[in-house]
């Protein structure tokens, strides 16, 4: 598998953080990670068990919200502690993978990415019939999605206006996996996290009173909304998904 290779210096402009959790099911096989994939423990503040040396409860963080945000606590950490750090030393691209789900990035892809013409790399979208509201009905209760729509209406009216057009389609970006240019990911996080915080306030019960991963699922839909709405402004490419076993 190409994803097992260490790509060396050509990859140091790319930093992708692989979210791990203390209750992850162990992999049956051993893998050597390329040097641009960095494991980080999600929800580290919620347990004394350690599965990584890097923790999402360091620096500015929302590690305590992991039960609702899932891997998005790691995205928040990347945003606040890597992208927004006060230093000129930063990668050209940052990203988020899961402990067993990777984007299928090969050695020749790393060389192409380093040329800098790509803005965003996302997984091929999944197809939902009759439209992606089917995904909402399966994973997000109607009152929580109403809260998300209200948050969009209040905070991002341009995207609220695009809602019907995007979500009447069949395609959804699952998994909250992404690689993007630093400035692109920064703008996305600046857009995303205030919306999610407002969803927590509007939802019943509120986010602080529950632990059911609903924010993580809403995040997938918002990622879809954001990047499909901006598909003509950004150079977005797609790749497959690798499942480690």
Alpha helices in the chain (DSSP H): 66-69, 72-78, 107-113, 133-139, 142-155, 157-167, 182-202, 214-229
Q: Which CA distances in Å does 192 have to 39, 48, 186, 188?
A: 23, 29, 10, 6
Which residue from 75, 19, 1 is spatially nearest to 244, judged by alpha carbons?
1
Query: What pTM was computed for the model?
Result: 0.93
**Going residue by residue through the chain (245 aa), what tens digit of pLDDT does each one get?**
233 343 444 456 999 999 999 888 888 888 888 899 999 999 999 999 999 999 999 999 999 999 999 999 999 999 999 998 755 668 999 999 999 999 999 888 998 898 899 999 999 999 998 998 888 888 899 999 999 999 999 999 999 999 999 999 999 999 999 999 999 999 999 999 999 999 999 999 999 999 999 999 999 999 999 999 999 999 999 999 999 98
**Interatomic CA distance for residues 31 and 53, integer angstroms:** 18
Q: How far does Cα 60 stand from its chain's mean position? A: 17
């Amino acid at each position: 598998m190409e994803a097992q290779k260490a790509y060396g210096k050509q990859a140091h402009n790319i930093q992708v953080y692989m979210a791990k959790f203390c209750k992850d099911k162990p992999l049956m096989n051993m893998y050597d990670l390329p040097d641009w994939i960095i494991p980080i423990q999600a929800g580290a503040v919620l347990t004394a068990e350690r599965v990584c040396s890097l923790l999402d409860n360091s620096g500015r963080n929302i590690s305590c919200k992991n039960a609702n945000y899932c891997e998005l606590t790691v995205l928040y950490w990347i945003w606040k502690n890597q992208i927004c750090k006060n230093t000129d030393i930063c990668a050209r691209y940052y990203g988020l993978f899961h402990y067993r789900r990777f984007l299928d990035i090969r050695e020749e892809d790393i060389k192409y990415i380093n040329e800098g013409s790509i803005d965003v790399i996302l997984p091929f979208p999944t197809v939902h019939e009759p439209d992606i509201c089917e995904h909402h009905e399966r994973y997000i209760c109607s009152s929580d999605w109403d809260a998300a729509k209200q948050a969009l209406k209040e905070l991002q009216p341009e995207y609220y206006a695009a809602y019907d057009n995007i979500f009447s389609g069949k395609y959804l970006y699952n998994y909250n996996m992404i690689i993007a240019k630093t400035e692109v990911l920064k703008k996305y996080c600046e857009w995303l996290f205030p919306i999610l915080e407002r969803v927590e306030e509007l939802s019943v019960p509120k986010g602080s009173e529950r632990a059911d991963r609903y924010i993580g699922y809403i995040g997938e839909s918002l990622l879809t909304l954001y990047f499909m709405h901006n598909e003509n402004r950004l150079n977005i490419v797609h790749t497959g998904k690798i499942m480690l076993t």
